[in-house]
Structure 1
């Protein structure tokens, strides 16, 4: 194994905190990965990785070497691509919220794959907050305000939001005609924040400012599908991207409420690791997503 390939192996181990997961990502035997690191440590003359029974972590020297490896690998990939004059290729791992993937990403992916036939996509979807480095994800499309300053981000768009409840709920609790009317016995479905674990309040734009309203809850959820399902069952008000609710408004399964005071739009960003220079395939995806999803 040459030096650049050994650096790629080392970088993936640092990111995945595991020899086994790194070997799986790279399609290499575990013994090959182990031998490559032994040879690399012998070549540089220092211990780069600290191994325990639970995980693998870089030493101080390993952290410094990791940063240099990323720059060298990116330079080599750029140089090779420029001289080959070939399109970007290879595996690309993406994390995206499930409903966003189904409504916006998947319908447009045939265009991306036709433009870049050498790129292989691995798309994960879910509501949990993914650690890009440790889980070996190249980028994530995230909805909401960003909280991780270690990630580089590019704004894609902003999603209009709406407030909703079921017809049954409105029949039992009334249809609020103002924000203040919510305090007269109304409930909300509690949605747990992925960052704090607490319940997110309802938000309303009113007279140039945003008002937050926390209502009593009888049901708390942590997933988008469960959130809408709880609204169907009449457990309270919810707020979600308008694109996700419009079908239910049209069918009568949900009722749009307080439309004159909508929640503030939710930003949509594509994020990736700041310490890692984007590969040609990642840059291609970022540029394409910025055009398509805007």
Structure 2
């Protein structure tokens, strides 16, 4: 077996946490993976991987080798790509939240495909954060703080959770001046994940909690927007979702002084050093396009005029 191939298998075993999972991802047989690790350990004269009942972990020697192996593989990949044809080709699989994907990711994907006619892109729009490895994804666009420290995240912008209502609704029911007043207002919310429906306020969402009895619950953002525009109640949505309506006067932003801190909009990938060329170029392209969008910045006073 090629020694560079052994290094790639070793890195994959550590990345996926098991011999069987590495075999599945690399389309190799489990015995082939086992032989590669054994051969590598024999050559280095040291155990590189500790096998437990549930997972694998590198030994101290294995961790040192893994760091150098990742750098070596990255340099090899870059060398191959630098001497290959400049035309991008192949499949790129990306994921994004549903409405954000439709509104902002799909247009930049169309532009990217127009620039690279040999590329193929598969977009998986889902409001759940899909696992990049399990789903075979190259890149994700996510809203919110990155919880998985094993991934690489690049902030492109930020959005705010804002309360909005239509002028018609406010004319009939009055404008709340404090979050506590929302308990007696008609509200529009997403579908419940728990039995308790509440909105939290303050920079860290710990200043005040208000229990709600929503007039409408929907897992679809467009339905919530339609309900607010038609005067059905007050909703809490992301600033990019309502910015056009606020600027056009179809909605009014409420209780801005009580809003939580903004949420980052981020590009997320497995790692940067070993990122394939097609992923790296799309990563940079998406960053440039998304960071330039005025909708992807927190609403300010000028947005409400």
Q: Tell me the TM-score range normalised by the shorter chain.
A: 0.5 to 0.7
* Cα offsets for 1:28-75 (capped at 9, x unmatched): 344433333332233223333333454333333333222221111110
Q: 1:161 to 1:35 in 2, by over 3 A?
A: same
Residue 274 of structure 2 corresponds to residue 280 of structure 1: no
SS in 1 for 2:107: coil
Asked if 1 retains the 8 angstrom alpha-carbon contact of 2:200 and 2:206, the reply is no
Deviates more, 1:174-183 or 1:103-112: 174-183
Partner of 1:65: 65
Written as runs of structure 1 = structure 2, the 5 A alignment for 1:96-175 is: 96-116=96-116, 121=121, 123-129=123-129, 137-146=137-146, 151-159=151-159, 161-164=161-164, 174-175=173-174
Residue 184 of structure 2 corresponds to residue 185 of structure 1: yes
Distance in 1, Cα, partners of 2:4 & 2:137: 21
Distance in 2, Cα, partners of 1:136 & 1:65: 26
Aligned residues: 275
Asked if 2 retains the 8 angstrom alpha-carbon contact of 1:179 and 1:258, the reply is no
Written as runs of structure 1 = structure 2, the 5 A alignment for 1:193-272 is: 201-202=200-201, 213-217=208-212, 225=219, 237-244=234-241, 256-259=251-254, 261=256, 263=259, 265-272=262-269
- Segments of 5+ residues of structure 2 without an aligned counterpart are 293-305
Distance in 2, Cα, partners of 1:122 & 1:38: 37
Partner of 1:26: 26
SS in 2 for 1:104: helix
Tell me how far 1:284 sits from its aligned partner: 0.5
SS in 2 for 1:101: helix
Distance in 1, Cα, partners of 2:19 & 2:91: 19
Distance in 2, Cα, partners of 1:99 & 1:148: 23
* Cα offsets for 1:200-225 (capped at 9, x unmatched): 62469xxxxx9954211458xxxx93
- Segments of 5+ residues of structure 1 without an aligned counterpart are 205-209, 250-254
Q: CA RMSD in A?
A: 4.5
